[in-house]
Structure 1
Amino acid sequence: MSVVRVAYVAGFTLAAIACFFSLRRVSRVTDPDTRRGLGALLGLSGLWGVTHVGRLLPVSPGVQITFYVAGLVVGLATIGAWLYFCSAYTGHDHHRRPWIRRTALGLYLGIISIKITNPLHEFYFTTTTTTRPFAHVVIELGTIHWIVTGLSYALAAIGFYLLYEMLSSSKSDARVLGVLVATTALPIIFYLLTLLDTGGLITIHYEPLGVAVFAVGVLYFVNEQFTAIPRFWRTQIIDGIDEAIVVTDDSGHVRDYNRRALAIFPTLQSCEGTPLSAAVPSLACAAEEGGEIITVGESGADTERYLYVTKTPLTQVDMVVGQAVVCADVTDLERQRQQLKRQNEQLDRQNEQLDAFADAITHELRNTLTIAMGYFEMIAEERPEQGIGNDEAVETIKETHERMEHIVTDLARLARRGQTIDETEECTLDSVAADAFTDVGPDELSLRNCEGVSLRADRSLLLELLSTVVRFADLNGASELAVESGESVLTVTTDGEPIPADDIEDVFAYGEAKPSAQTGMLFPTKRAIASSHGWTVDIDPTYSEGVRIEIGGVELLPATE
């Protein structure tokens, strides 16, 4: 057998084996469309190589022609697989568009029908034999062949353009991968050289050799770069996102970034392959922690921005190949948060000052009342023979002192109860109402309590609230107080003196002596305690048989056994 024949047969046999063997590593490609396209390209290229081997073997011309026609059918299908792979690998969706797929299928079926039926019309090719450089069938190409070949190369060029666009736009070092892509185009040059009758080559398609080199190269030598570049390159995706995005490999080196990231971090310019910790140290530190907020721009100026930094791992199969660092601009939210924080701190200081003020005033007033009451009692004890202790004026002074003591207590309570409570507990309503009744100890007031109802509240504050209600009923001349519950409402009804509808708003106002001087602070205190729970307190203006107080927004619960 001729040495040249052996070289050709060995070359295409090795190419076919390489393509078929590389199929086992296609599963490493994570993108399903790219995986399908590459698998089809390798399988069809390997089969195309087998048809070349059959044509080059020392067999009869008829068998060689049969392998040649089979090669024409498979070779045209390889163009479709090439375009599918290039479209998927470069992040486009051309391979998914129905009209393109239908047009390609129709064109393919039309062309192969001409190829298969060539023995009948010989419009595509005719054959002769030659012994240069070894005995084989020579294909004399017809006009239709050149039209189909030109169309095939034009379609293949589209795939090369997509790959060139991707590689030239990638911020990664893609030189090796670019060389491998170029090897798939070199066989076209060899084929064109055979048409010049150089004498050293036979007229045959050499594409399976180029695809074999490409397959072995990308799947065995630059596999990581092959799978990583499209993920990092797709700027039409990351540039379309408002957030700044920086993509690094698994060792923390910058692989890609979008325009937004470059505008915020100018030091990223030309830093591909540089550790992120060297390019933008603050971003690298925040990305390492995750969920951190960093500040960029001049502090205190309009250019100051707050960025919330998160990271997302990029995986290939079960292996992490990099991460995407995403910076969301939260400047407005952060400024609002800081403003709220300052307001809360200011409110806390004011509350502390109010508490201190209330304590000081309460202490001074009570001391003064205690001193005055002590002197009064001393005078009453020293002059009993004059009946001063039973004198009407003395009783008035005593009652006035007691009233002032209640006022001081109510004012101190009111100053402290305007704040929202943090914790509540389950309280049994009838138990708290009974304790409030006991604490006040009215002489001529009976309690008709509510049973079987519980609610969530601060028990001490609820006790104070109901105590103010009992005190009001006692001072308002009531003989009965009824505690009832409805849907999210507590109702306390007394049979004392009704409050005119026109005076209801004044009853809740500070400093108003309504409905009487003795009860003036009780209703503001009720509303303050209720507000701290998120409740409301109102008086029913339609109730004319006494006073009905409604506490709304209460979280009622079934009573526990």
Structure 2
Amino acid sequence: MLFGIPVLTGLLVLSGVLSTAVAAFLWNERPKSGTTPLMFVEISLALWAFGQALVVGGTALVWKTGGYALTLFATAMIGPALFLFARRYTGRSTDVSPGLVAALGIVPALALALGVTNTGELTWIEPTLVTVGGRPTLAVEYGPVFWGVVAYTYTLLFVGDYLLFGKFVGSRNVYRKRTFFFLAYSLLLTACHLLSTVGLSPTPNHTLAPLANLVFGSLSLLVFVGYRSYGFLPLKPILELFGSRSKSLAPVARTAMIEEMGGGMIVTDHRNRVVDINPMGRKILGEPDARVVGRPLKEVLPPRIFLDEDDTRLLDPGVAGNFSGVWVRTPDGEKRCFDVLITELDGEGATGRVSLIHDVTERERRKQTLEERTAELRRQNDQLEDFAGIVSHDLRNPLNVADGAIELARRNEQFEYLDRAENAHERMETIIEDVLTLARQGQTVDETESVSLCAVAAEAWATVDTAEASLGCRADAEFEADRNRLLRLFENLFRNCVEHGGDDVAVTVGTIADGPDGDERSPDSLWGFYVEDDGPGIPEDQRDAVLEQGFTTSEEGTGLGLSIVSTVADAHGWEIDVTESATGGARFEITGLVADGPALEDDPLP
């Protein structure tokens, strides 16, 4: 006795409560195929346990016979319920019609009616109370209705067990474990009922099945409600016993294919929980040893890993289709690209999805490389067309001048014509150098080094014919750049200042320490630099055009100098803007730099 309740009675009540709890959980899982019949199996076990609790714990004849009637009804109901569950679970739900369900329910209904009324003693024969061990016990002989119910139940139980066994042999992974769990559950209940019926049960009456259900009822709560795995099942020796005797290689081949396939496979149920995953799927997730089955998909694949927010829709339960080029960030920080094929799984309605995942990172990277190469070739082709126009137009005029001057010098022996030819050749040399420089500067910068703004500016100034012009550097800073290309940028800017500002123009170089949108940066940071002069400046309506290839306002100009400046800036990822200096001259602002060190004190150059 425990708290005044016999231990056996308390265990039976506990078994009934556990089965009721599992049935309540399955009630919420009804959209899932096969859940409703399984819920009735648990209801039958609960009624069986409560009925036997009345038989064992009741003191009056009416309570004990009522408990037997409830047990008989539960016994008659568990066979059809398990049979219907097995058919639905094994994919034979199309054969389960409302007429079949109604026909299977006739015997349980008759068993309940005849068990309560015992008409003509068809169910029980002369039930009486006898005292055994100081407690009243029901002595009863079973009638034909009882044996008919037993035969009916066993027939359906054996058919259901056969269907589950076939599913077990042909299943894989979590489905094989789950099927074995249901099969073992059914076989245990069948064996316990059989032992009680033939009088070999170690417990009185028909209490063995409800008592055995205590173990499986607890495991059911662990598996169904807690979403735990089936790792406690002794599958390996069972598979060694039966697996080699399978007459079909199809399940084995299917398992091997899915386990060894180069892509990942993830199966989710109607509540978007992971119910199966293959080894490659675990590898793709970056969690080869973590417990994934049973966890919500959005916990396994958090939305934050997707580089494109639109791709998070793949985690929504109702989404299906083929999705290409899905970029994610792996747990180790690497960016990977995947193609994902999501297919709906239909049972009694939509019951889940299967997602096939293929790593296509190398394909996408090759594709990006080819696209970049194609863009570069297209740009170079455009440049070639421009160069062809420059060579055919701009070089023809000085070449004609040189030819004419040389011819006149030969005829008249006047050397001033040779000076004209020399000037024409110098003009052609300038054009050729500008064209070659422009062709080389179009490439993307691959390697950079730390450079000093004032030092590079001074070096470039020394290579330009600056006449009486002067250069001042108001503030120095260090930043990353391709030194040779930066020299070409300054050379062309300085040449432009001298050509358009006059021989005595004053040119100034300085830093820009304000970020975009006017946000003031720290004193130790650098946003860009500028080159300005005190010449006549550039008209506002021409400031955008001066950076275009071929634009010039001088008959002697090639229209390539500032275009070279623009291409150097683009190659570094910088931006260039043409504006007006404080003195009304031209000002070129190059921004988008990253400082390599702190800004230095003002250091004007002589």
Q: Do the aligned partners of residues 492 and 177 (structure 1) sit closer, same or farther apart at CA in structure 2, a change above 3 Å counting?
A: same
- Please give the per-residue CA displacement for 1:220-241, whole angstroms capped at 9, x wherever unaligned: xxxxxx92699x9xxxxxxxxx
Q: Do the aligned partners of residues 507 and 201 (structure 1) sit closer, same or farther apart at CA in structure 2, a change above 3 Å counting?
A: closer
> Is 2:210 aligned against 1:184?
no
Shift of 1:530: 1.2
In structure 2, distance between residues paired with 1:317 and 1:510:
60
Q: Do the aligned partners of residues 203 and 339 (structure 1) sit closer, same or farther apart at CA in structure 2, a change above 3 Å counting?
A: closer
Q: Do the aligned partners of residues 559 and 517 (structure 1) sit closer, same or farther apart at CA in structure 2, a change above 3 Å counting?
A: farther
- Please give the per-residue CA displacement for 1:268-316, whole angstroms capped at 9, x wherever unaligned: x983222655x57xx93525xx89xxxxxxxxxxxxxxxxx94317999
| Structure 1 residue identity aligned to 2:253 | T
Percent identity between matched residues is: 19
> Is 2:506 aligned against 1:480?
yes
- Please give the per-residue CA displacement for 1:177-199, whole angstroms capped at 9, x wherever unaligned: 725632224433555677xxx9x
In structure 1, distance between residues paired with 2:581 and 2:290:
73
In structure 2, distance between residues paired with 1:228 and 1:360:
75
TM alignment of 1:76-87, pairs within 5 A: 76-82=13-19
Aligned to 2:441: 417
> Is 2:374 aligned against 1:346?
yes
Shift of 1:465: 0.4
Aligned to 2:58: 125
| Structure 2 residue identity aligned to 1:206 | L
> Is 2:100 aligned against 1:72?
no
Select the residue among 513, 518, 538 that pairs with 1:499: 538
Aligned to 2:250: 271
Shift of 1:451: 3.4
| Structure 2 residue identity aligned to 1:69 | P
> Is 2:468 aligned against 1:444?
yes
Shift of 1:379: 11
| Structure 2 residue identity aligned to 1:227 | Y
> Equivalent residue of 1:414, what SS?
helix
> Equivalent residue of 2:461, what SS?
helix
Select the residue among 186, 204, 207 that pairs with 1:205: 207
Aligned to 1:227: 230
Q: Do the aligned partners of residues 92 and 466 (structure 1) sit closer, same or farther apart at CA in structure 2, a change above 3 Å counting?
A: same
Shift of 1:468: 0.5
> Is 2:426 aligned against 1:456?
no
CA contact 1:183–1:213 (8 Å) conserved in 2: no
Aligned to 1:552: 591
In structure 2, distance between residues paired with 1:316 and 1:153:
45
Aligned to 1:312: 282
Q: Do the aligned partners of residues 228 and 316 (structure 1) sit closer, same or farther apart at CA in structure 2, a change above 3 Å counting?
A: farther
In structure 2, distance between residues paired with 1:529 and 1:285:
49
Q: Do the aligned partners of residues 506 and 400 (structure 1) sit closer, same or farther apart at CA in structure 2, a change above 3 Å counting?
A: farther
> Is 2:570 aligned against 1:531?
yes
Shift of 1:426: 2.2
- Please give the per-residue CA displacement for 1:511-540, whole angstroms capped at 9, x wherever unaligned: 332256336321112112111122222221
- RMSD (CA atoms): 6.1
Select the residue among 267, 280, 284 that pairs with 2:260: 284
Shift of 1:467: 0.8
> Equivalent residue of 2:460, what SS?
helix
CA contact 1:481–1:492 (8 Å) conserved in 2: yes
Aligned to 1:400: 424
- Please give the per-residue CA displacement for 1:75-96, whole angstroms capped at 9, x wherever unaligned: 11023335657898999699xx
Q: Do the aligned partners of residues 81 and 162 (structure 1) sit closer, same or farther apart at CA in structure 2, a change above 3 Å counting?
A: farther
| Structure 2 residue identity aligned to 1:284 | E
In structure 1, distance between residues paired with 2:387 and 2:554:
28
CA contact 2:453–2:478 (8 Å) conserved in 1: yes
CA contact 1:500–1:541 (8 Å) conserved in 2: no
| Structure 2 residue identity aligned to 1:414 | L
In structure 2, distance between residues paired with 1:67 and 1:338:
78
Shift of 1:470: 1.1
In structure 1, distance between residues paired with 2:425 and 2:207:
116
CA contact 1:452–1:559 (8 Å) conserved in 2: no
In structure 2, distance between residues paired with 1:77 and 1:510:
89
Shift of 1:464: 0.7
TM alignment of 1:100-139, pairs within 5 A: 125-126=58-59
Q: Do the aligned partners of residues 71 and 349 (structure 1) sit closer, same or farther apart at CA in structure 2, a change above 3 Å counting?
A: same
- Please give the per-residue CA displacement for 1:329-367, whole angstroms capped at 9, x wherever unaligned: 55467797776554444345556778999999999999x
In structure 1, distance between residues paired with 2:400 and 2:478:
44
Q: Do the aligned partners of residues 538 and 156 (structure 1) sit closer, same or farther apart at CA in structure 2, a change above 3 Å counting?
A: same
Q: Do the aligned partners of residues 358 and 310 (structure 1) sit closer, same or farther apart at CA in structure 2, a change above 3 Å counting?
A: farther
- Please give the per-residue CA displacement for 1:462-512, whole angstroms capped at 9, x wherever unaligned: 111011011112212152110011132321111123222233333223333
Aligned to 1:490: 529
In structure 1, distance between residues paired with 2:595 and 2:84:
68
Aligned to 2:547: 508
| Structure 1 residue identity aligned to 2:447 | E
In structure 1, distance between residues paired with 2:194 and 2:444:
83
In structure 1, distance between residues paired with 2:291 and 2:551:
75
Query: Comparing 514-523 with 441-450, which one deviates more in the overlay?
Result: 514-523
| Structure 1 residue identity aligned to 2:207 | H
| Structure 2 residue identity aligned to 1:545 | G
> Equivalent residue of 1:447, what SS?
strand
Aligned to 2:459: 435
Q: Do the aligned partners of residues 211 and 501 (structure 1) sit closer, same or farther apart at CA in structure 2, a change above 3 Å counting?
A: closer
CA contact 1:191–1:203 (8 Å) conserved in 2: yes
Shift of 1:446: 1.1
Query: Comparing 163-172 with 411-420, which one deviates more in the overlay?
Result: 163-172
CA contact 1:183–1:214 (8 Å) conserved in 2: no
Aligned to 2:160: none
Shift of 1:378: 13
Q: Do the aligned partners of residues 123 and 496 (structure 1) sit closer, same or farther apart at CA in structure 2, a change above 3 Å counting?
A: closer
TM alignment of 1:7-406, pairs within 5 A: 69-82=6-19, 125-126=58-59, 141-142=63-64, 145-146=67-68, 149=71, 164=86, 168=164, 171-172=171-172, 174=179, 178=183, 181-191=186-196, 203=205, 205-207=207-209, 210=212, 227=230, 271-274=250-253, 279=257, 284=260, 286-287=262-263, 310-312=280-282, 329=322, 331=324, 340-347=368-375, 349=377, 388=415, 391=416, 394-406=418-430
In structure 2, distance between residues paired with 1:317 and 1:91:
31
In structure 2, distance between residues paired with 1:330 and 1:140:
67
- Please give the per-residue CA displacement for 1:194-251, whole angstroms capped at 9, x wherever unaligned: 7xxx9x9963522377569989xx9xxxxxxx92699x9xxxxxxxxxxxxxxxx9xx
| Structure 1 residue identity aligned to 2:584 | E
In structure 2, distance between residues paired with 1:346 and 1:427:
32
CA contact 1:411–1:521 (8 Å) conserved in 2: yes
TM-score by length of 1: 0.51
Aligned to 2:271: none
Gaps spanning 5+ residues in structure 1: where?
1-62, 95-103, 128-138, 219-225, 233-248, 254-268, 292-308
Select the residue among 456, 459, 468 that pairs with 2:492: 468
Gaps spanning 5+ residues in structure 2: where?
32-41, 91-163, 221-228, 266-278, 294-300, 302-313, 315-320, 327-359, 515-526, 601-606
CA contact 2:406–2:418 (8 Å) conserved in 1: no
- Please give the per-residue CA displacement for 1:91-113, whole angstroms capped at 9, x wherever unaligned: 9699xxxxxxxxx9xxx9xx99x
